[in-house]
């Protein structure tokens, strides 16, 4: 898959929603005011996964990000 296609992939809903969805209102991270910090961390993770582990399938990288959000 080309790099442009990989970067066009959304990776995780939190990166797209960033507090602008009704789903975010039920999120403990949003309720406590840490949405910006979490999305910054997720963006750095995406960059690291894209640059360092480019051979990993997108589904696996998405799962890593989802597991991180669930863990938080």
Q: What pLDDT, on the 0 to 100 scale, is given for residue 63? A: 86
> Model confidence at 65, in pLDDT bands (50, 70, 90)?
confident
Give the residue with greater pLDDT, 43 vs 5: 43
Please report which residue ranges of the chain form alpha helices under DSSP H: 3-8, 13-17, 28-31, 35-52, 58-71
Q: What pLDDT, on the 0 to 100 scale, is given for residue 12? A: 66
Please state, in angstroms and rounded to a whole number, the distance separating the CA atoms of residues 29 and 36: 9
**Mean of all residue pLDDT scores within the chain:** 75
Q: Quote the pTM value.
A: 0.64
């Amino acid at each position: 898959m080309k790099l442009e296609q990989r970067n066009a992939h959304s990776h995780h809903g939190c990166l797209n929603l960033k507090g602008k969805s009704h789903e975010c209102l039920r999120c403990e991270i949003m309720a406590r005011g840490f949405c910006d910090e979490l999305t910054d961390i997720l963006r750095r993770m995406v960059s690291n996964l894209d640059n360092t582990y480019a051979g990993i399938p997108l589904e696996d990288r998405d799962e890593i990000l989802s597991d991180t959000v669930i863990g938080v």
